[in-house]
Structure 1
Amino acid sequence: MKHGPAVRRRRLGAELRALRARAGLTSGETARLVGWHQSKVSRIETGRSGVKPADVRLLLDAFEVSDDALRDLLVSLAGSEDGGGRHWWHAYRSLLPPAYRDFISLEAQACRVRTVETSVVPGLLQTPDYARAVTRAAVGGLPDGQVDALVEVRIARQDVLRSPSPVRLSAVLDEAVLRRRVGGPRVMAEQLRHLAAVARLPHVRLQVLPFASGEHVGLTGPFVVFSFPNTSDLDVVVLDHLTSSLYLERKEDLKAYTDAFTSLQRHALSPEDSLDFIAGIAGVHRPPDSERT
């Protein structure tokens, strides 16, 4: 069974392989030291198999790694003690592609999320009707039951904003996100009201990048930066494409995208002015009297 996001399995495997080599051990010798089959060591090192925190500690003991900071970092890459195999999204495994499950897992473990969106409202801020319209547009032809399940997943993800220790969310939205009439006037009016409500939460910082700002680095496309407790070494940038997601972990990439996010925040309206801006655009999406509830 593969536990946790593939991106973190590969990172952990590479680190463990390097430590084994530094200790002067072969994979076979390591397997004998910890009482495993050699194939298990190989699967872990190549990221094809997950590993529990307790097993990481066993390997680090075998490699005589005493650096507490390094040990904590590598154990955190393994995730939770149960291997992360029974989280809420496990019930949707047959419906969700691996890349999406990886994304949800990272989102659930992150302490901070920074997101730039140029086309649609971020998933963590979508209403059910808006999410349904986006899902139908992105994966047309699905039966209603599968669409409903994907919307359930989208809304369940938002629990990270309502937990006792909620994720800190910083979002920069291009004006196009607010003006694009997804789902019709009623859906958009409701979505903008929801945006304004969530933006007032103490752990959410929402900013709008108006058309008047001109060209900006965000024109290259949306991205998400996940940050994790205790160390920046685990930060990940995610770029979404139509059929796949790209995960970036190199320090140069992380710096480029975090710098880009900071630049976009400087060019965007303040959170207070953004709320006023959203309220102004809400009038554009005001539904006819016959559609109001």
Structure 2
Amino acid sequence: MAATPTRRKKRLGRFLRDLREAAGLRAVDAARKLKTEESTISRYENGIYKPTWAAVSVLLTLYGAGDEAEEKANALYDAASVTLPKIRLPADSPKAFRELVNTEREAERIFSIETTVIPGLLQTADYAMAVFATARETSDVDELVNIRLERQRYLEDPENIELCVCLDAALLHREVGGRKVLHDQLQRLLLLIEQPNITIHVIPFESGAYGNMSGGYQIMTFGDESDSDVVYLEHPAGGVWVENEHDVQLFQAMFEDVRTQALNPEESAEVIRAKVRSLSK
């Protein structure tokens, strides 16, 4: 299997490249010191391969890095060594969706607006089953549900990622899968908002028009200023990535406007509880 570049490995690689260039050295100089090929140094610096710590130490010495640089390199190395949960995707998965699965695991924060359905990262198995079953999916529905549940695992550790979601109030009333499925789904939301890394805002009907009412989107931010924020727009055939800085900023401004119109987390939780009580009758 080919090595896969990740943002974490790329951060380490960029840092090593910047140190090398600041020292006035070429990739071939680093390769000679490590007794390896110049192409290997290129793979390190492009985040394709993660070097051993012994190799990093040699390069730091070669580049004349001080204690501060070594400390940062150590932190970047540890981050690049984190093993992310492996998710096996169907062979016919759209490229944009594959990128979504990999990108959301490496994000530091996800900001999401949802207008039609509870976000996949928060769905119960039965709710997800109902969504996929009515979407004319060509892939095995059980497999798709399992993938969705696997993607949720990364939310379990509050240190991994923060998720902030603005939900249209209509989602609390649309009985996806039936009354019982919606009841259990809203109960799950109440459990999830107890986690310190998950925040939910309900957009009340009284807010009127807001933001991008034609569909939801996700904004993903990362733990390094060299990683630009991105936006993911999902559609029935896959999804589209928005990476242009100006366009991303428009989505970010829209999200903040919507969050201002939405209820605060405590008010949102009470609205969800009230709906759960209604569904329990």
TM-score normalised by the chain length of structure 1 = 0.71
Match of 2:124 in 1: 127
User: Which shifted more, 238-247 or 201-210?
Assistant: 238-247
Paired-residue identity, %: 30
How far did 1:126 drift?
Answer: 0.7
**Alignment check: 8 A CA contact 2:5 2:46 kept:** no
What CA deviation, in whole Å up to 9, does each residue of 1:209-228 have, x standing for no partner?
12332333344741133454
Tell me how far apart the structure 2 counterparts of residues 137 and 52 of structure 1 sit (CA, whole Å): 46
Change (3 A) 1:258 1:279: same
Which letter maps to 1:263?
A: D
Q: Does 1:262 align with 2:262?
A: no
Would you say the 8 A contact 1:235–1:254 is kept in 2?
no
Alignment equivalent of 1:217, drawn from 207, 211, 214: 211
- Counterpart-to-counterpart distance in 1, 2:171 and 2:74: 38
Secondary structure, aligned partner of 2:184: helix
1:199 aligns with 2:196: no
Partner Cα distance (1:164, 1:264) in 2: 25
Q: What displacement does 1:13 show? A: 4.9
1:207 positional shift: 0.8
Deviation, 1:129, is: 1.1
**Contact in 2 for aligned 1:12/1:74 (Cα 8 Å):** no
* 1:64 aligned partner, one-letter code: G
2:52, 2:229 → 1: CA distance?
20
Aligned-residue CA RMSD (Å)? 4.0
Give the whole-Å Cα distance in 2 for the aligned partners of 1:149 and 1:188. Answer: 21
Task: Say if 2:139 is the partner of 1:142.
Answer: yes
Counterpart Cα distance in 2 of 1:142 and 1:167: 29
Please show how residues 208-287 of structure 1 align to structure 2 within 5 Å.
208-219=202-213, 221-228=216-223, 234=227, 236-242=229-235, 243-244=238-239, 246=241, 248=243, 258-281=252-275, 286=279
Q: For the Cα contact (< 8 Å) 1:126–1:191, is it kept in 2?
A: yes
8 A contact 1:113–1:227 mirrored in 2: no
Does structure 2 retain, via aligned residues, the 8 Å contact 1:50–1:78?
no
In 2: Cα distance, 1:139 partner to 1:45 partner: 43
Q: CA-to-partner distance for each residue in 1:229-286, whole Å, 9 max, x for gaps?
A: xx66557434133434527496x777655554433322101222212333455588x5
Structure 1 residues 167-194: Cα deviation after superposition (integer angstroms, max 9, x where no partner): 4432211234334443333322321222
Distance of 1:102 and 1:74 partners within structure 2: 27
**Alignment partner of 1:116: what SS?**
strand
Structure 2 CA distance for aligned equivalents of residues 27 and 35 of structure 1: 12
CA separation of 1:65 and 1:213: change in aligned 2, threshold 3 A? farther
Is this contact kept in 1: 2:162–2:198, CA < 8 A?
yes
Q: Per-residue deviation at 1:89?
A: 1.5
User: Which one-letter code corresponds to 1:222 in the other structure?
Assistant: Y
CA deviation after TM superposition for structure 1 residue 155, in Å: 1.9
Q: Retained in 2: the 8 A contact 1:34–1:62?
A: no
5+ residue gaps, structure 1, are: none
> Where does residue 114 of structure 1 map in the other structure?
111
- Name whichever of 182-191 and 32-41 sits farther off: 182-191
Distance 1:204 1:123 in 2: 14
Alignment of 1:40 with 2:34, yes or no, is no
Decide whether aligned partners of structure 1 residues 171 and 81 sit closer, same or farther in structure 2, where only a CA change above 3 A counts: same
Which residue of structure 2 aligns with residue 88 of structure 1?
A: 85
Query: CA 1:161–1:183 in 2, change beyond 3 Å: closer, same or farther?
Result: same
Label 1:62 to 1:239 Cα distance change in 2 as closer, same or farther (>3 A): farther
The residue identity in structure 2 corresponding to 1:125 is L
**Stretch moving more, 217-226 or 169-178:** 217-226
- C-alpha separation in 2, matches of 1:77 and 1:104: 22
What per-residue deviation string (whole Å, max 9, x for no partner) do you get for residues 46-89 of structure 1? 45x2324625555444433437369627953784437x4xx432
Which AA in structure 1 matches 2:128?
A: A
What is residue 147 of structure 2 aligned with on the other side?
Answer: 153
